[in-house]
Amino acid sequence: MPLETRYETTLAALDALHGQDPRGVVVDGESVPQELWHAGRMSAWLERLHGAPDELVRLAVRGQHLQRWQVPRSDYPEGRVGYLTWRRDQGQRAGETTARLMREAGYGDEQAERVATMIRKQGLGRDEGVQAVEDCACLVFLENYFGDFSKQIDHDHLIRIVQKTWRKMSPRAHELALELPMTADARALVEEALAG
């Protein structure tokens, strides 16, 4: 029986941690740990965005939401500063943990740090790997969370969020986002945001 590659070992370790998420979502009638499902959606979008992404980008995309349930958003102050601090801390934690798992599987420090940098989204707009992580995160948000999210936020704030999200995405991600099935209300919001 062949030994697992370091990539397969790291991926399995990431998914084992994702699988510990106590929150669940129902997929095809079966309860799945929410974070494991989210990581799978991230990987699926990466395959649509890039024909043959390298393994470091694949690991960064898979580790981007790692163990988020352990430090909920509610632990931070309300408002933009609290949100940005929470998001930065989450990226730092996920990057460090993914890099550690990579080293344990046999990757070198340079490769592990490269993945951690992508997860922290350092170099957005300048680095192809970082852009891939951001594109996947935006597409998962638009595909799975935007409809419910749009019912909780006031109209003008929501328009600004869509505009900021759009600015962070690549042209290819824009194409894919516009193909997403949306309710008529959600589609109207997106169109209004893009026209502004």
The per-residue pLDDT for range 125-137, each reduced to its tens digit, is 899 999 999 999 9
The per-residue pLDDT for range 118-127, each reduced to its tens digit, is 999 999 889 9
Is the confidence at residue 150, as pLDDT, over 80?
no
Quote the pTM value: 0.91
Q: Give CA–CA dist 159/148, Å, rounded.
A: 15
